[in-house]
Amino acid sequence: MNPTASRLPILKIDGSALHTRTVGDIPETYVAARLLERGLTVCKPIGDDCRFDLVVYDGERFYRVQCKMAIRDKKHRGVLRFATKSNAGHYAGQIDYFGVYWPEERRVYLVPVDECGRSEGYLRLAPAANGQTAGVRLAEAFAV
């Protein structure tokens, strides 16, 4: 292994140093790699006018995946948050899954679009301290 590779910083998402296209390319690359590792076929649409970033084939069916970057919620540190809409609106009916990449731990999650809110999606890193289970989406259940 290259000795300098271990000293590379983990990506900080603060918007100051990265072009918006790069911020989109990073989760797309990690999600695609993880799905390929799982033996799925991953296709990339040509052009930027699709509402999905990847098409995934499991041997029987094709799935449309929109890739997003997750960050820890500032108020609730045990929660990951990711956007579920763009300037063109919510993705309902236009994609099947959100492929979510969390750079802090370099984890990938595949979340059905129907299980996400209209503007943001949330994944909990641990069960709720008060024991609540209704409406709670544990990240581990969606891990790829």
β-partners of residue 122 are 81
- Summarised one tens digit per residue, pLDDT across range 94-139 is 999 999 999 999 999 999 999 998 899 999 999 888 888 888 899 9
* CA dist., res. 44 & res. 89, Å (int): 22
Contacts of 39 (CB under 8 A, 6+ apart): none
The domain in which residue 74 lies consists of 5-142
Query: Structural domain tally of the chain?
Result: 1
Amino acid at 96: D
- Summarised one tens digit per residue, pLDDT across range 41-51 is 999 999 878 99
CATH at residue 25: 3.40.1350.10
The structure's pTM equals 0.83
Other Cβ atoms less than 10 A from the Cβ of 15: the count is 8
